[in-house]
A and B are shown apart, each in its own frame.
Chain A
Amino acid sequence: MDEARKTQLEFVEREAGNFGKLFAWVLCIVLPALIYYYAPKYGVSHEVSIFMAIMSVTLVMWIAELLPDFVPGLFAILLFLMFGLAPKDVIMSGFSSDGFFLALSVLALGTVIQSSGLSYRYALIIMKRVPDNTFWYMLSLFFTGLFLTPLVPVIAGRASIVAPVLNEVVKHCDEKVKQSASTVLFASGINGITFLSAAFLSSTPLNLIIYGMLPLQEQQAFNFIKWTYASSVVALCMLVLYFIISVVYFKTFSRLGIGKDYINEQLKCLGKVKKSEWIAMFGVIILGIGIFTSSLHKISIPWIAFALLYFLLFIGTLNKEDFRNKIDWPFLFLLGSMIGLVSTMYYLDIDDILAKHLNWLAGYMSNNLKVFILLLSGTILLVRLIVPMNATVLIFAATLLPLAAASGVSPWLIGFIILLMSESSIFNYQAPYLYSFRNITKGTVMQDDSRIMGFNIILIVVKLSAIYISIPFWTNIGVL
């Protein structure tokens, strides 16, 4: 492609983007006005009309990505306060909730784990011990990502740990097998950090948002252990199916001819385990012990995590600068806003209104869950073709979690399915959070993107199958 044509294409793309944004801003003005004018004519109360008008603007901003995610959330909260739609403590409840402090603490611990170098050291040690075969490298890359999933609560953070390891593996491969091994190793690396994100409460900020949006009782029930336990059958099925399909689909397993010298060099560079790594390890162990012994000490898990944050600040492992710069404050503001938004919905009885107007959907949810799962998953996959992952999760969760609560279906289950399906992506553009992974491996790992795309489509079927297989288990443990 010549330079002129490339420039021309970029210009067209930019113009199309600009037009889309212009259209979205026009919608931000027209839509709330129309809703505010017409909603009362359909028997909607004054307060609910205002709520709907505000939400319409927020949704447009999210879908069209007019502003960073947390800004529309704060916009909604601000207007709720200005219009007095609910008492201040209801609207601002997200900022004092257990979910907020849990998210803050988990993010802080994740920052320490990542910045201390502990996670990178772990990845190198694993690679050092792996037998020299594509299959074993595939397994270890996948499990390295999986091991980091509950510990590093941001996908991009996990990508920044696993991608360099993948680079090194591919770089030191025998030239003859490099091309063929690249695709399977790339798929393992990228799926290791994302595939089972929904199975652990602390693996992505979105999980913490869903947790924060659950009714209080459900939050108490689905803490770290129960969340993982309830999703364990899905996770196990997905894991087994993943490896079976990987073997069948890629069929390129052979000796890689990797020497271990480069790993030894890297480990030598890292030197002895640093104090900050010990503290990170200590933090993980203490949090683990705290979670598993919660029935003995009776301290709520969010407060254990918060105490750990205090400890990290106290001993200076997380200093003032890190606390200010490395914690994802925009996400925390988004979380606080989302919880406040849902609380306001409950306060205005919008859950009942939703249940009444989406009666058919509530009917499927409570009477024919299997069909509902298919409908929900299909809709999410379609929506995800044009709407970013965060906006998709926020919109579906804000609508369906209150509806689930009103219909007698576990809001956790609906939230879990939303998370699991929203995380699926077929095309690269659907997963911008994996750009860093692709950028780091670009030029070194020569994966076949069309094969990866085909594999992604199969993984969607795997996820759906795992959900259906898990239904008897959920019935048995009282989730269903």
Chain B
Amino acid sequence: MRKLTYFFSLLFVTLVTFIIIYFNITKPRIMIIHSYHPEYAWTRDINIGLIRVLERHPNYSIKWHYMDTQRHSGKEWFRKAGIMAREAVDQWEPHVLILLDDSASELVGKYYVNHPKINIVFAGLNGDYKPYGYHTANNVTGILEQKQLQALKETIQMVEIVKTFKAHTTDSASNAVNLSDISNIKMEDKHNVPRIFYLSDPSESLKIFRIFMDTFDWKPFNYIGSYEANDYEDWKKAVLENADKTDYIIVANYRKLPKTSKKEDENKFASAKEVMEWTEKNSKMPVIGINVFNVEDGAMLSVGVSPYEQGEVSAQMAVDIIEGIKQPKDIPIKLNEQFIIALRKSIMQGRGIELPAIYEAFARATANYYE
């Protein structure tokens, strides 16, 4: 009797062990590799999108890895971050690898192109995906991140329309406003056409984006050009010197802005908050961002790519692959469709800028409204 009890207890342990091992081996595994650090607003918001989808699949095993290539840069850091990330992938062999932003594809993704067991879903790629070999891969799909310049242009148009409308109501007490007024703003008089100027830091990803900015059709506005600041001092100079030459300053990112021009400081970056707050305080012209986090940093208004969409779409693609609904090669690479408005009311009021209430409501609904 005692032996039988002993046998059954051992049988129980053995069975439980095998069930656990079997369950863990067959459990769907997703590894999410971010190019940046978890506290970065863009990364944080992509994670919100990812979780929205992945929390519906509690049976998945999910691992997060952050390469932190925003706060640290330089060849050495990239090499180290790449080794650590690839080691983590090799160790865990996920069924799907979700790679966020360019560095993750550069340092990890291109090593797993056409891998027999690992599928890749990328998100947040600004430019071309060919450098990573994705165009020839049958295990890769994803969503691109193209800045919403059309939405940005329409928002500036709206600012101008409201401005014109207000001027009309003051002058003629007329309540009517023609939405096409903006296209007629004394186009014949070049000086009165609102002018736009783009300012960026010297990062590689913004170099590519600068081409998009420079070639975009900004009509009816007058795009006076762009400038890549070498460091924080240079940035300040550009803001002050262009004060009378432009009506709007557009910014994307300034996290790779070296504090000084000294060679030894090339990897010491100015605080993003400090840069944005200084810019907003010292710029005569309104500063508009094209990333949602610009307003969190201290800007007045931004029209940015939705990080939630990047997260949700890439997570849904991963789910479709894991559930066997589609193969990566059957999922077309998507272009982002959504954008987010973020605004800081106090600065808008300070500059006398107004937008229809729907903008504020949208910003509030997405938790991107700041007093």
Contact = CB atoms under 8 A, between A and B. Distances in A.
Interface string B10-37: 0001000100110011010100000000
Contact of A478 (B24, B64, B84): B84
B265 to A, nearest CB: 10
A229 B79 CA distance: 19
B236 interface: no
Given A299-B20, A408-B68, A220 B83 contact: no
Interface residues of A, number: 20
A408 B77 CA distance: 8
Nearest to B27: A298
B286 to A, nearest CB: 30
Given A408-B68, A477-B83, A478-B80, A298 B61 contact: yes
A156 B254 CA distance: 54
Interface in B255-273: 264
Interface in A263-310: 294-299, 307
Interface string B72-115: 10000101101110011011110000000000000000000000
A74 B25 CA distance: 39
Contact of A295 (B71, B92, B264): B92
Contacts of A311: 13
Given A297-B21, A307-B20, A408-B71, A220 B79 contact: no
A478 B83 contact: yes
Give the residue among B17, B64, B72, B91 with the most A Cβ atoms within 10 A.
Answer: B91
A408 B84 contact: no
Contact of A298 (B17, B29, B80, B264): B29
B40 to A, nearest CB: 13
Contacts of B80: 478-480
B92 A217 contact: no
B63 interface: yes
B153 interface: no
Interface string A459-480: 0000000000000000001111
Contacts of A478: 79-80, 82-84, 87
Contacts, number: 50
A314 interface: yes
B103 to A, nearest CB: 14
B20 A221 contact: no
Interface residues of B, number: 30
A204 B68 CA distance: 31
A221 B87 contact: yes
B87 A298 contact: no
Contact of A220 (B27, B88, B90, B264): B88
B66 interface: yes
Given A296-B25, A299-B21, A299-B24, A221 B68 contact: no
A172 to B, nearest CB: 43
Given A311-B13, A314-B13, A221 B84 contact: yes
Nearest to B29: A298
A420 B25 CA distance: 37
Interface in B207-232: none
B24 to A, nearest CB: 5
Nearest to B91: A295
A337 to B, nearest CB: 24
Nearest to A311: B13
Contacts of B91: 294-295
Contacts of B166: none
A72 B83 CA distance: 39
Contact of B24 (A220, A221, A297, A314): A297
Contacts of B92: 295, 298
Interface in A218-244: 220-221
Give the residue among A217, A294, A295, A311 with the most B Cβ atoms within 10 A.
Answer: A217
Contacts of B27: 298
Contacts of A294: 91
Nearest to A216: B64
Interface in A81-139: none
B65 interface: yes
A63 to B, nearest CB: 32
A298 B64 CA distance: 15
Give the residue among A299, A479, A480 with the most B Cβ atoms within 10 A.
Answer: A299
Contacts of A315: 9, 13
A201 B353 CA distance: 60
Nearest to A346: B39
B59 to A, nearest CB: 14
Contacts of B87: 221, 478
A480 B17 CA distance: 38
Interface string B272-306: 00000000000000000000000000000000000
Contacts of B68: 408
Given A314-B13, A408-B72, A480-B80, A217 B24 contact: no
B13 A220 contact: no
Contacts of A367: 264
A480 B83 CA distance: 10
Contacts of B84: 221, 478
Nearest to B84: A478
A217 B21 contact: no
Contacts of A307: 17, 20
A297 B13 contact: no
B81 to A, nearest CB: 8
Given A298-B24, A299-B20, A477-B83, A217 B71 contact: no
Given A217-B88, A406-B71, 19 more contacts: A217-B64, A220-B63, A220-B88, A221-B88, A295-B90, A295-B92, A298-B27, A298-B93, A299-B20, A307-B20, A311-B13, A314-B13, A315-B13, A408-B72, A478-B80, A478-B82, A478-B83, A478-B84, A478-B87
8 contacts: A297-B21, A298-B27, A298-B92, A314-B13, A315-B9, A315-B13, A479-B80, A480-B80
Interface of B: 9, 13, 17, 20-21, 24-25, 27, 29, 61, 63-66, 68, 71-72, 77, 79-80, 82-84, 87-88, 90-93, 264
Interface of A: 217, 220-221, 294-299, 307, 311, 314-315, 367, 406, 408, 477-480
Which 4 interchain pairs have the tightest Cβ spacing?
A478-B83, A408-B72, A298-B24, A299-B24
